[in-house]
Structure 1
Amino acid sequence: MTTPDDQPPVPDASRPESQDRIYRSHAGIAGGVLLLAITGWLGIDALVSGHGRTPWLALAALILLVPLVAAFTLRPAVYANEDRLRVRNPFRVVVLPWSKVASLRSGYSNEVVDAEGAKFQLWAIPVSLRGRKAAARRQARNAAADSSGRTSSVASGPTRSHSDQAMDDLRELAEARAAAEGAQGEVSVRWAYEVIGPAVAGAVVLAILLAVG
């Protein structure tokens, strides 16, 4: 007779099949925290010590600015696993199964192109021209050292910028998983109403306050 302990374990359907790789801009996050701190300090000061319409103007400005600052600095992220690429941009969330990713392009910005030709910028992986130049210099010095046999002169550090290396990783994953069964499906795009709604409300209230004088 089979006891409950002899039964094979039932797989947990709620558990993701693979863990996401997460790409974010650390500089963007740091800048966002700083901007939010300054905005909050100025706005709260105006709310507490302001007179007349000033507190209301400060409140409307906070409702407008805080979501926008967070959207462009703290919110952007790129999540990648074996089945799909999820791009969280300031105002949209785009989910692309690997089968629908036509290419991942790097120029003055990084973007993903789907099978229909639609382009989506990767806000979380900004291009750093300075990082590219530094990586190129290291690569050139390493190549010169290798050709002359001076291994002790090899420059330390990556020979690809952080953003370019991230794009290389995503391209490799896209090529490897495009034909996988779990990577099939359709592209979905969702607007971030949790960001757009408060920002629009703040803009409307601020416009009304300024209009009525």
Structure 2
Amino acid sequence: MAGTHGGPKRRGRPSGPAGDTRERILASARDLFARNGMAATSVRAVAAAAGVDAALVHHYFGTKKNLFTAAIDIPVDPDVVLERVRAVPLDELGRTIPSVVLPLWEYEAGAGMKAALRSALAGDRIAMFEDFLREIVLAEVARRVDDPPGFGIVRAEFVATQVLGVVVARHIVELEPFASLPLEQIIDTIAPNLQRYLTADLPR
């Protein structure tokens, strides 16, 4: 008789609170991303581990990139941030990058960003944080400055060291008087060096 126990398992939206389903997907995503990395983890694999359809993962998170961002608790859509990086001329990247990234840590979203960074630095999600930087943030910059070919990621990582250094000194260590300097002063100071990393000849 239809509907009796023993019939085929139904896929799709599971019963129970939606919040429980979302958290189960996130827990599965964190486990798989931490073990296999972002590139080697598919939405289908996350869905299978969570016991749901892949369509339900897309329903809650949209893209794999958004799922990955949620899995490491970054409370900012990276595409919104990177859109400004894509839009500016190459010779303005050195100023645009800190102008876009550093203010995120100063305002409402900053508390969540700091918590995510502290967790990464403590070792809880360091591999995932590294994956986020390389696969989502740095890859976008590297494509624009890949001269000579294959050197773009090195340029992008040089930029990351300086921008992350500012974030750690200002918001994690709270090194004074640096932590209390006007943000615009910091951007003015580091922008020329970032531009050099991005477009000037570097020692090899």
Band the TM-score falls in, shorter-chain normalisation: under 0.3
TM value normalised by structure 1: 0.22
Which has the larger strand fraction?
A: 1
TM value normalised by structure 2: 0.23
The one of the two structures with greater contact order (alpha-carbon pairs below 8 A, sep at least 6) is: 1
Larger radius of gyration: 1
Which has the larger helix fraction?
A: 2
